[in-house]
Amino acid sequence: MTEFELIERIFSTLQDEQPSAGIEKAIGDDAAVMSLPTGARLVSCIDTLVQGRHFSADWDEVNELAFQIGYKAVAVNVSDIAAMGATPHSILLALALPERLANEQWLSGFAKGLHHACQLFGVTLIGGDTTRNDTLVLSVNAQGLLAANTNAVYRSGAKAGDKVYVSGTLGDAAYALNHPDSETGQQLAHRLHMPTPRIQLGASLAKTDATSMIDISDGLYQDLSHICQQSGVTMRIDIEKLPTSQPLLQVDEAERLLCQLTGGDDYELAFTLPADVELPASQLTNTQITCIGEVAATDSALQEPRPRLLYNGQAVTKEHPAPFTTLPSFTGYQHFIG
């Protein structure tokens, strides 16, 4: 099929009958047109997923996985919008497609996954581009809105004395990725392939005095390090308090904690709040929230702003690596390595 047949037969047929508010023109022209509510601000992000790097090189051989690829491409971008405290609004899709996938069965599964995520998260596909490539590459550009008198939550506002929180449970996706054939890995596979961005929590935190926020995509330790560096602070993180799902509790503690600290693909939110600020009500956020530590000032200009890990009150160091046998590297996912 030609590019235009592909767009018309697969994507245009999956458009919402009631698109996101303010969309004047979506698919079908050279560009989309949107009108913004008075006083609102536009929040934008983009993520690129590459076959063989962000998902298995053989995923295109199993058509039912096309749905998961379409879904996740939307979800990871919506998670970034949520981490700013914004409400997701619309997406643009750029799709570089191998010839072997230019068939109605695979594309229909992919488009249905993408459309399901759009419906679930309240966003509309408003346009994009398609081309051919030897491997599958897809980029999603997401837009969100910050209502008037609502503050974006950045990485740079954490202050000494703030409490550090995370949503949901950590490490599930990493374990499923590393152990796809194990019983526990199969139990947790949905956390890897179908993550849940915390939209309600992010929007609720934007209405509080939240001082910083980030979505956990590249590993908790690395992502908290971004907050530390942007805010010029350190953190004390009690790793025995990391929220854990029931299946992951059955895993060896050291392996579990390494997945939770470095694994990535959680798409939960990590954020900081002043100690005297109440958390948003659980019925508004639709997820559990766990306090895992506290923000601290750097001891000197020479101290690196990064998290300090504690286990049952004792610093995790090279000399005292417990619960690990030896001190591991806590580096998370590196996009330009490996």
Residue-wise pLDDT for 98-143, tens only, equals 887 777 788 888 989 999 999 999 999 998 888 888 888 999 999 9
State the DSSP string of 88-140: EEEEEEEEEE-GGG-SHHHHHHHHHHHHHHHHHHT-EEEEEEEEE-SS-EEEE
**Lowest-confidence region among 23-32, 38-47, 59-68:** 59-68
CATH of the domain at 190: 3.90.650.10
Number of domains in the chain: 2
pLDDT confidence of residue 314: 96
> Does 124 share its domain with 12?
yes
Residue 328 lies in a domain: no
> Does 16 share its domain with 130?
yes
> Does 39 share its domain with 78?
yes
**Lowest-confidence region among 21-25, 157-161, 178-182:** 21-25
Query: For the chain, what is the mean pLDDT?
Result: 88
> Does 112 share its domain with 179?
no
Those residues whose C-beta lies under 8 Å from the C-beta of residue 89, and which sit 6 or more positions away, are 20, 22, 34, 122, 123, 124, 143, 144, 145
pTM of the model: 0.92
> Does 7 share its domain with 43?
yes
| Dihedral angle computed from the Cα positions of residues 188, 189, 194 and 195, in that order, rounded to the nearest 10 degrees | 40
pLDDT confidence of residue 338: 45
Averaged pLDDT for residues 325-334: 74
Domain that holds residue 135: 3-146
The residue among 146, 174, 191 that closes a domain is 146
Averaged pLDDT for residues 14-42: 84
Computed on alpha carbons and rounded to an integer, the radius of gyration of the chain in Å comes to: 21
CATH of the domain at 56: 3.30.1330.10
pLDDT confidence of residue 14: 62
**Residue type present at position 259:** C
User: Above 50 in pLDDT, residue 169?
Assistant: yes
Residue 25 lies in a domain: yes
pLDDT confidence of residue 13: 63
Nearest of 131, 114, 144, 121 to residue 13 by alpha carbon: 114
> Does 123 share its domain with 250?
no
Alpha-carbon gap, residue 113 to 68, rounded angstroms: 6
Q: Sorting pLDDT into bands at 50, 70 and 90, what band is 188?
A: very high
Residue 53 lies in a domain: yes
> Does 167 share its domain with 136?
no
Residue-wise pLDDT for 271-284, tens only, equals 999 999 989 877 67
Quick one: residue 152, left, alpha or beta (phi over 0 = left, psi -120 to 50 = alpha)? Answer: beta
Residue 269 lies in a domain: yes
Contact by Cβ (8 Å): 206, 86? yes
> Does 117 share its domain with 184?
no
> Does 135 share its domain with 177?
no
**Lowest-confidence region among 7-11, 188-192, 286-290:** 7-11
> Does 13 share its domain with 45?
yes
